[in-house]
Amino acid sequence: MIGSTTLTAGGSTTLTAGGSTTLTAGGSTTLTAGGSTTLTAGGAATGVRIWLSIAPVDGRRGFDTLAATVRAALGRDPLCGDLFVFRNRSAARIKILFWDGNGLVLYAKRLEKGTFRWPQAGDSSIALSGAQLMELLAGRETGIVNNIGCT
């Protein structure tokens, strides 16, 4: 059903596809894409962070190969609950990988026209705010500066 398709995996993960798509990971991380796009990612209590991989990856990669990329190229743990954002070489597709406490979740988006505006940086990844991720998903300029919020 368009507009009311819901997939629930694990206690608190909900993906709804249709007019407005909602992806919820963990206790308080919510990603909504569609007609009205909003993102609330983590907070002080959950510590969810959003990591943007600077280098493009093969767009055919799935759960396991993206998780291996998180470990090898980004030096992070894909099972920590953070969101990891990747793009393909043409920058027309992105994938977001995260662990919801019960399994890996993979969110994908393809632009019909244009490309995602990806920042250039010297590091392998940079941290984003929820607002910056939503700007990126919408295809708009994000104002991302190298190493925002990185520790």
Residues 100 and 13: beta-carbon distance below 8 Å: yes
pLDDT at 122 over 90: no
- pLDDT value of position 99: 93
Instruction: Select, from the ranges 41-45, 99-103, 131-135, the one with the highest average predicted confidence (pLDDT).
Output: 99-103
Please, which pLDDT band fits residue 124 given cuts at 50, 70 and 90?
Answer: confident
- pLDDT value of position 80: 94
Rounded Cα distance, 119 and 99, in Å: 25
Instruction: Select, from the ranges 12-16, 32-36, 70-74, 118-122, the one with the highest average predicted confidence (pLDDT).
Output: 70-74
- CA 100 from centroid of its chain's CA atoms: 13
Sign of the alpha-carbon dihedral angle for 123, 129, 130, 132: negative
Rounded Cα distance, 88 and 129, in Å: 21
- pLDDT value of position 25: 44
pLDDT at 93 over 70: yes
Please, which pLDDT band fits residue 32 given cuts at 50, 70 and 90?
Answer: low
Mean pLDDT of 77-90: 95
Mean pLDDT of 27-56: 59
